[in-house]
Structure 1
Amino acid sequence: MEDAERGQDRPPGGTKGTRTLLVLGAAGALLTGCASMPTRGEIRPVEASQGVDSQVRVFGVPPADKANPADIVEGFLEAMTSDDPQLETARKYLTPEAAEKWKPGSAVTVLSAGLDRLPVQGEKDPDGPRWKITGKKLATVDERSAYQPETGGGRYEEYLQLVQVNKQWRIATPPSSLVLSESDFQRIYKPVNKYYFAGNSLVADPVYVRQRSDPESRMDPTTQTVQSLLAGPSKWLGPVVSTSFPTGTGLREGTKSLSYDGQNTLRVPLNGNGANVAQPQCQKMATQLLYTVRDLTGSRLDRVELLRPDGKSLLCGVNQPATTAFVSRTPVPEHQYYVDKDSKLVRMVLSVNAEEQQDKPEPAPGPLATAADFKVGSAAVTYDEKRAAVVSGDGHGLYVVTLATAGPMPQPLMTSKSGKLTPPSWDAHGDLWIADLDPQTQGLWRIPGGTGTPQKVDVAGLDGKITGLKASSDGVRLALLVEKEGGRKNLYTGRIERPEGKGDSSPVSVRELRPAAPQMAEVTAMSWAPRGRLLVVGRESGGVDQARYMLADGSMVAASLPGATGLSAIAAAEDESKPVVAYSGEDGIVWLPPGAQWRTVAAGGKAPVYPG
């Protein structure tokens, strides 16, 4: 018995099918295998375009005897959206040879809506009819499970050739990849971060894995994620990160599923390529696994242990506290900073309980506290909170000051003739980033160590003016707000490439810009957020302003911030227990503590930032 059957009453040649799914009600039970029908719950039709609850299991319907070509095409396309990882039902619509060779799991094409399908008219093929399937491309997911947004508004187009096999119509040329609408993709797949090293920093590399478990084919999410981690980083991130796993490392032959023991320990059996490593390298391997699987499962995992092919331990298991020997962590911020109504940089001590925050700002110490006539326009504070980079209120000068000792204001490190310097940003290497919109000096600039001579940075593929930027805490990615003709601002992420072994003063470049919020018609503000995400303020086409979390690969995460309208600046800390802070033109500085509502903390304040 099928978990959920899909009916179709679409006439041949139509463009959109109607699916019927069995959706179970309040008890949340699911039809599985040959389970009996539940006695409670509602059965109702669900249109494909509405999106389907990820708890609903969907399986295709095999081809009927003597089905006509239109029914074969329709049934196959519906079966492709099945929750069966091996797509066994979909293969029944193919010729035996095509079914054997078809490997749709190697890539996924994501469409903004469903597929259009039409028979090719005016063509007489001796083998049988052909059908053209088309759609608007939203993204692709490659063989390493990495998501890549479609930037050119491209169209998907392929042809299905039908032939007769034992007097039954079958498809001889299936699509080269799995093809899903956005709603089906979100139902079947879930995002998870793999982790790789950049120096001693762990860098989140987002990928998508199937949500359903199928131990017989290694398709449970944990095993998929571990396999993806062992296969190496995504192509986009690969040039700036490294893995501790030796080339060719994989799971031990015959491993079908990974599971936890009673102490929340995950034991991972490796093949011979990963078994002969020194202890420090082995522990870094276990650290990558621990962070990766914890991202998938939450806090359920306490320890990872690696095993040899013979089942013996490699003696390099790690738990969360032990990883501090290999991973440099971003310091937990002690303060949140903003510019007050008098154009002074101030800070507030962050309480352990954000709801009990006293909201008592104090002047940022050092030269800024005694420079009575100096007005601050924007600022950035180093992660250790020992220095601040400030742009003067008129936008002409960039200054770096100490927050530890008093003294006179230093000379500016950089000036803009037309007063159009963007707010600055520090990275994990201690380098300072800023953009200038002055026509004569326009572009992206980096100041090594925050003390050297400003260096202009080449940004490959930049089309527009950089009006805002933020370096990620791992130091390998840069988020850029880019204004194009017409004044609209869009968000991109670029990869920061540093020449190896040539010192901090060597020129760096930003490569492979990719859209970070392609669903947004315009982006107003952004900030990096925990686990390699972005917190983006903007609006979709025809929509209203909103703030929501996005993965750095440009795919959208469902979480959005409630009531986030009228915001023109936003900041999030790497520590998820700290409140989101934002600037509202009506209210000034507002906070959103975890699990609470927005509240005003500084009327008249602006330019909120966390260290970084």
Structure 2
Amino acid sequence: MRRAVLAVLCLVLLAGCANIPQESQPMVVPGDKPPQAIATVPDPPKDIDALSLARAFVRASALPGPNNAAAKVYLDEQARANWKPGRGMTIIDDIFNTTYDTENRPPDPNVQVVNVHGFALGALSGDSSFVPNQGPFKLQLELRRQGAAGQWRIVNPPPNLVVTDTDFSVNYIRVPVSFYSQDAGTFVPDLRYVVAKPQSGLAGRVMDLLMLGPSEGLAGSVRNFLADPITIENNVKTADDGSVVVPLTGLTGASPESRNLIAAQIVLSLQTVTSTRIRLLADGAPLVPGHEYWRASELPAYGAVASPSSDLLGLMTVGGRVRSLGTGAPVEGPAGAGGYDVASAAQSIDGKRLAVVERAEGRMRLRVGDYGRELPQTELFGGSLTRPTWRPVAPGGDASGEVWTVVDHTTVARLVVAPGGHWAPQGVNANEVTALGPITELRLSRDGARAAVVAGGKLVVAAVVRTADSVTLRAPRLLQGRDLKDVVDVDWATPDTLVAATSSNSQPVVKLPLDGLRMDAFNSSNLTPPVHAVTAGPNRPIVVADGGGLWVASELGEVWRPHGHTTPGADPFYPG
């Protein structure tokens, strides 16, 4: 029976493309080939038992097919006609059980109630982003015998799809869709998931997501240049010359600057689903006059402001002083010479400024100033201060002018440089985050759009939303809440990837995307847990600190090797 069910699942895998989240519906336009005929989905195996049919229904729910045809064959005729699942779906662990409901056994022998038990990892929301929400999962299905042959069929399918983790990974791909951060003058990735097949329609599905705007988890932090009145005039398609044609309309009066930013937003978003040239049109003419065809390599280096320069090798605090990771030598100024008893520190992304948490008079206080010089005291102090973290340089600015820390594990505070050079404390509304537990670490993403937070030993990511008179940490997401515990430090390896250190012996260092759908553990060889610090950055090796000193690795499977300037008690940090 198990072989029969697997055979059916293999057959329905050939059934075309899904009309589940963010599918571009096929339409015939001049030059397009007519849509292919839809393959017939075979019925379930004859005499399949109720438990196996319920399992097969879950497994088929992620399979490509128009109108969820692969899953509908497991429903009775009425449910098959009426079932229109929502745009979202629940993703559960691969290991799940189906059992008969013995407490509410129906008196009719032709009716069975089957409970699907598993562990929910989260949900694909209506905007095609993954929202982690781990916990026990239960789905109750009612099955009835149908027809003269008495075949079991489901009569009450769930309002949204339920799919396993592996089936989701096989049939969907992750796409970093780009939106603009005016805070840093760079583009920010927004992780979304689209149906992988047919590959020819990927660019169109990604463009659909762009037109809808940022996901709920990023809304308010970024700008979408493709908002109304801009629309896609007709299908995104592949031309005879192999280029992907994106035909826009509604750009009358758009400035040259806006047109270039729109081009960048589209090209950056499509680069993960196509390697061909992208032809950008606005009402039939080139979107940017004189530049009709685009590749990602032709775009300005928008990400440069959010990525530290290669000559900034990183720093470390050790023995109350700040030293260079590159040379091991103390940095210039009192911070390196022992003028302060430094507990932690952070260098701005541009390298021009330094913030240190100083132990003084039985408490912690923050000093901020120009790198290599005297660091004036600020008005920020408390029983504890987290390691500082810097906002990126504002467009047109000369140096980073805002640094954050958390006072006494509960108050998220920022210091903003005022005219004349004084650093003035200002508040951050972090109520949604502090409700999750005491904050022991906070790292702003280097594009300024998000914050990674360690709250109550858990890893949380929240959006940074700025208005004219407030800054808020919004829409916090708890990442890998079941398996990622005892987190002690975190840093941004890339704009959409985090590296976290834990006090665990089994997985002291892990890597995960900012939505937390996956988690991979680094090789723990050579490390002596517990690890107490980690730093990471774009195109840089990861450096961690344990009781013996500093260790370096670049890949997940790589064995940790001693840092060139390792020393016990050191805490490493890259700019940011």
Report the TM-score when normalising by structure 1.
0.75
State the match for 1:414 in structure 2. 380
| 1:72–1:183 CA distance, 2 compared to 1 (3 A) | closer
* 3-state SS of paired residue (1:374): coil
State the match for 1:94 in structure 2. 75
One of 446, 454, 460 as aligned partner of 1:481: 454
CA distance in 1, matches of 2:273, 2:509: 24
| 1:261–1:122 CA distance, 2 compared to 1 (3 A) | same
Q: How does 1:251-400 map to 2 (within 5 A)?
A: 251-255=232-236, 258=238, 265-270=243-248, 272-273=249-250, 277-296=254-273, 300=275, 303-308=277-282, 312-315=285-288, 317=292, 318-320=294-296, 322-324=298-300, 329-333=305-309, 334-339=311-316, 341-349=318-326, 360-369=327-336, 371-393=337-359, 396-400=364-368
Amino acid aligned to 1:194: V
Q: Is the 8 A contact 1:109 1:180 kept in 2?
A: yes
* Cα distance, 1:434 vs structure 2: 0.7
CA distance in 2, matches of 1:157, 1:248: 42
CA distance in 1, matches of 2:252, 2:526: 50
| 1:72–1:412 CA distance, 2 compared to 1 (3 A) | closer
State the match for 1:204 in structure 2. 189
- RMSD of aligned alpha carbons: 3.7
| 1:470–1:136 CA distance, 2 compared to 1 (3 A) | same
| 1:104–1:560 CA distance, 2 compared to 1 (3 A) | farther
CA distance in 2, matches of 1:247, 1:7: 51
State the match for 1:138 in structure 2. 121
Deviations 1:332-366 (A, max 9, x none): 332233335443212245xxxxxxxxxx2333224
State the match for 2:484 in structure 1. 520
Name the count of aligned residue pairs.
Answer: 523
| 1:460–1:341 CA distance, 2 compared to 1 (3 A) | closer
Question: Higher relative CO (CA 8 A, sep ≥ 6), structure 1 or 2?
Answer: 2
Deviations 1:457-513 (A, max 9, x none): 331232321111111112121111123xxxxx111122222223xxxxx44222222
Amino acid aligned to 2:355: A
CA distance in 1, matches of 2:515, 2:427: 26
State the match for 1:27 in structure 2. none
Q: How does 1:175-190 map to 2 (within 5 A)?
A: 175-190=158-173
State the match for 1:242 in structure 2. 223
State the match for 2:100 in structure 1. 118
Q: Which moved more, 1:444-453 or 1:524-533?
A: 444-453
| 1:32–1:564 CA distance, 2 compared to 1 (3 A) | farther
CA distance in 2, matches of 1:21, 1:553: 33
Amino acid aligned to 1:437: D
* Cα distance, 1:609 vs structure 2: 0.7
* Cα distance, 1:81 vs structure 2: 4.5
* 3-state SS of paired residue (1:227): helix
CA distance in 2, matches of 1:242, 1:312: 25
Amino acid aligned to 2:352: K
2:514 aligned with 1:552, yes or no?
Answer: yes
State the match for 1:537 in structure 2. 501
CA distance in 1, matches of 2:297, 2:195: 30
CA distance in 1, matches of 2:157, 2:143: 8
* 3-state SS of paired residue (2:417): helix
* 3-state SS of paired residue (1:7): helix
CA distance in 1, matches of 2:160, 2:6: 22
State the match for 1:470 in structure 2. 443
State the match for 1:76 in structure 2. 57
CA distance in 2, matches of 1:274, 1:105: 32
* Cα distance, 1:234 vs structure 2: 0.7
Deviations 1:183-206 (A, max 9, x none): 332333332211111212211111
| 1:114–1:596 CA distance, 2 compared to 1 (3 A) | closer
Deviations 1:255-291 (A, max 9, x none): 5x558955xx532234x45687444323222211211
* Cα distance, 1:21 vs structure 2: 9.9
CA distance in 2, matches of 1:98, 1:273: 42
CA distance in 1, matches of 2:544, 2:50: 57
State the match for 2:3 in structure 1. 7
CA distance in 2, matches of 1:558, 1:61: 38
CA distance in 1, matches of 2:247, 2:323: 53
CA distance in 2, matches of 1:198, 1:336: 26
CA distance in 2, matches of 1:72, 1:160: 11
2:569 aligned with 1:608, yes or no?
Answer: no
* 3-state SS of paired residue (1:284): helix
State the match for 1:579 in structure 2. 541
One of 174, 177, 188 as aligned partner of 2:157: 174
* 3-state SS of paired residue (1:239): coil
Q: Is the 8 A contact 2:235 2:247 kept in 1?
A: no
* Cα distance, 1:173 vs structure 2: 2.9
* Cα distance, 1:557 vs structure 2: 4.5
* Cα distance, 1:118 vs structure 2: 2.5
Amino acid aligned to 1:102: W
Structure 1 alignment gaps of length 5 or more: 9-17, 24-29, 35-58, 350-359, 484-488, 501-505
2:553 aligned with 1:592, yes or no?
Answer: yes
2:370 aligned with 1:402, yes or no?
Answer: yes
Q: How does 1:216-231 map to 2 (within 5 A)?
A: 218=201, 220=202, 222-231=203-212
| 1:133–1:32 CA distance, 2 compared to 1 (3 A) | closer
CA distance in 1, matches of 2:159, 2:45: 24
Report the TM-score when normalising by structure 2.
0.79
Amino acid aligned to 2:415: I
Amino acid aligned to 1:329: V
Q: How does 1:9-158 map to 2 (within 5 A)?
A: 62-65=43-46, 69=50, 72-82=53-63, 84=65, 87-104=68-85, 106-112=87-93, 113-118=95-100, 121-124=104-107, 129-150=112-133, 153-158=135-140
* Cα distance, 1:31 vs structure 2: 12
* Cα distance, 1:179 vs structure 2: 1.0
CA distance in 1, matches of 2:79, 2:444: 48
| 1:526–1:340 CA distance, 2 compared to 1 (3 A) | closer
CA distance in 1, matches of 2:370, 2:354: 6
CA distance in 2, matches of 1:425, 1:147: 27
| 1:472–1:68 CA distance, 2 compared to 1 (3 A) | closer
Deviations 1:345-401 (A, max 9, x none): 12245xxxxxxxxxx2333224434x5442322110111111100112566221113
State the match for 2:426 in structure 1. 455
Q: Is the 8 A contact 1:240 1:497 kept in 2?
A: yes
* Cα distance, 1:570 vs structure 2: 0.8
Q: Is the 8 A contact 1:147 1:553 kept in 2?
A: yes
State the match for 1:43 in structure 2. none
Structure 2 alignment gaps of length 5 or more: 16-39, 395-400
State the match for 2:404 in structure 1. 433
* 3-state SS of paired residue (2:305): coil
| 1:117–1:288 CA distance, 2 compared to 1 (3 A) | farther
| 1:493–1:363 CA distance, 2 compared to 1 (3 A) | same
State the match for 2:177 in structure 1. 194
Amino acid aligned to 1:173: N
CA distance in 2, matches of 1:558, 1:583: 19
CA distance in 2, matches of 1:233, 1:340: 38
